[in-house]
Chains A and B, each alone.
Chain A
Amino acid sequence: MVESTINATQAVVTLDVPIQGLVWGSIITVNMWAKSIGTGVVFLAAFLWFRHKKDEMPNLRWLMPVLAFVSLNVFLLFTLIDLHQPYRMIHIFTHPHWTSSITVGAWMASLFLAIITILMVIGVADAFPGLGGKKCKLTAIARNNSGFYEKIMPFMVFLAIPVTTYTAIIMAQSSARELWQAPTEVMQMMWAALMAGSAALIFISGSWSKEARKDLALVLTFAVFFSFMMYMGEYFFSFKSSEAEAVLAYVHSGGAYSVEFWFGMTLGFIIPFFLGMSYMKSENMTLLRFAAILALVGLFLVKDVWLKIPQMLPLS
């Protein structure tokens, strides 16, 4: 038995009782993945409106907040599901502890969702004039305040940045998990949002101008490329604590999650990159939609792996 122990110390654990296994599992992955879509579509919509005329993307005004609304509610639902005491979520608002990114994030995400809801009501009411009939007060108020949409849009885009990145700060506060470092994790969250946002919008871009669709493809291609580079940098060239490097070395050597990680990388980053590049020349919408699906699936897999592997670190 001792022959196979670490030479330097000749030490082997003969009794230890691990307190926990995976603490944050796939529920948190869904949470982060859905949030990436929710904020990503906001970034992409703002970018497209800046670059193109609004009538080139007629359905974006109402579909963007609908997509964001659904994604953010999935994100909040899964946050709630992950709590062991879900009904006490209200404590975050009644007993907030402001040093915690969980608290700050929950407040910002709630505000963000409130703004998205307003945009959605205005956008949908404008797009469907007959909705709710003539007596519906809500749609009447929304239509009368249609201009409010454009006024609050910049604030929403600005708020989307911290809402996207605050999860990275939660992870940085999780000091037992060295793989989640604030500067790189923040950038990964941003790239994930651009990746997921562009992928989601590709599905509703059938009636848009070619130039707008090309921009979407370009953002997707850039986002998967830079995400891939960041993950590779972290995976192969990280200079973190010895514990984090030990767990990465274990994954490198074909340990748990290695297959899932590379499967996700190929599916979500490498293939969509080439498909995105090919769209620039061929403008084949089917391939672009395929790239978008792959990017969303691959992003989920990779996020799931990246969430779970640091939790394999021995803490004692």
Chain B
Amino acid sequence: MKLGFLVDLNLCMGCKGCEIACKVENEVPLSTWRLRVKYIDLGTFPDTRRSFTPLRCNHCESAPCERICPVSALHYLENGIVNIDSDRCIGCAGCMMACPYGAIYMDPETNTADKCTYCAHRIESGMMPACVVACPVEANIFGDIEDDHSHISLYIMEHKGAVQVRKPEKHTSPTHFYVGGGNATLNPLAHQRIEGFSLFNDITHLEHVGDKNHGILDRFLAPFTGHHGPTDNASFIESATDTESHEQEGGH
């Protein structure tokens, strides 16, 4: 069995339901994402259109993150999922530097690398990933790509010639496919990022909001200063009531 993912970009309407479902299901901390939906605008006014591209871990068959991880925190499951063990991770960020898709982030609560696991815990229980369930237009198709009769295999065969992967030149053999994507959608250089003109681009990065021990010295002293484990989102919400300091940090 080899699990794969396919997003039909012709269907995706950019509702970000998948993004939110992922955050809720996996308790992804504030300011970090396992799955995000990129918007690009194409064409010249008045002939313009907006395209949406959900981006997540590609679960590559030849994953650079798995190869560079010094402690096997990133590892393959039997079903092809590139899983991550946060108890093993040492936080070297090698995987973040190796992933050509920018799919790995440093969890600000645990100080370990984290990423999309295709909701491996749900799959183990026979359920679909949260983003698949949440999609209102069934643009996310998930299943066994080695089974010729699975929905995803049939979809790939039906759209033969139109199925794409991100950055094939990296030879990572992703198991995450797109249908209906063009060069402008999937190539990072085929579009421009204009500072000051993007929607919501004034994002406040709440780096390591939940971890009071993120400073270099604090990280070393944490075991000796009575720090009891990571702070979770709930404790952040409590601390976030101090709006004045939040605004001073550039928040809104």
A interface residues, Cβ below 8 angstroms from B: 1-6, 8-20, 23-24, 81-89, 91-92, 95-97, 99-103, 106, 170, 173-177, 241-243, 246, 311, 313-316
Contacts and interface: CB of A to CB of B under 8 A. Distances in A.
B155 interface: no
Given A11-B184, A16-B38, A95 B88 contact: yes
B188 A174 contact: no
Contacts of A17: 33, 36, 38, 203
A11 B40 contact: yes
B43 A2 contact: yes
| Chain B interface residue bracket vs A | 35 or more
B159 interface: no
A16 B43 contact: no
A170 B94 contact: yes
A173 B89 contact: no
Nearest to A106: B70
B128 interface: no
A11 B190 contact: yes
Contacts of A12: 40-41, 191-194, 197-198
Contacts, number: 199
Given A6-B190, A19-B32, A176-B98, A11 B69 contact: no
Nearest to B94: A102
B68 A315 contact: no
A10 B44 contact: yes
Contact of B90 (A9, A81, A89, A241): A89
Contacts of B40: 11-14
B41 A102 contact: no
B236 interface: no
B109 to A, nearest CB: 11
Contacts of A101: 68
18 contacts: A2-B41, A9-B183, A9-B191, A10-B42, A11-B192, A12-B198, A17-B38, A23-B93, A82-B92, A85-B219, A88-B88, A95-B71, A99-B66, A100-B68, A175-B99, A176-B97, A177-B97, A314-B188
Candidate in A10, A11, A96, A243 with the most chain B CB atoms within 10 angstroms: A11
Candidate in B33, B183, B189 with the most chain A CB atoms within 10 angstroms: B189
Interface stretch (B4-12, B100-108, B145-153, B244-252): B100-108
B29 to A, nearest CB: 12
Given A11-B41, A17-B33, A97 B72 contact: yes
B97 A13 contact: no
Interface string B12-45: 0000000000000000000011001111111111
B241 interface: no
Given A97-B72, A176-B100, A15 B39 contact: yes
Nearest to B102: A315
Contacts of A92: 70-71, 90
A206 to B, nearest CB: 37
A1 B32 contact: no
A243 B188 contact: yes
A102 B68 CA distance: 7
Interface string B100-144: 111111100001100000000000000000000000000000000
A14 B198 contact: yes
Nearest to A176: B100
Given A20-B106, A170-B94, A13 B39 contact: yes
A3 B197 CA distance: 12
Contact of A4 (B66, B89, B170, B192): B192
A55 B99 CA distance: 52
Contacts of A13: 38-40, 191-194, 198
A122 B184 CA distance: 64
In the A-B complex, list the 3 residue pairs whose CB atoms are closest, starting with the nearest: A84-B91, A315-B102, A11-B191
Nearest to B89: A85
Contacts of B90: 83-86, 88-89, 91-92
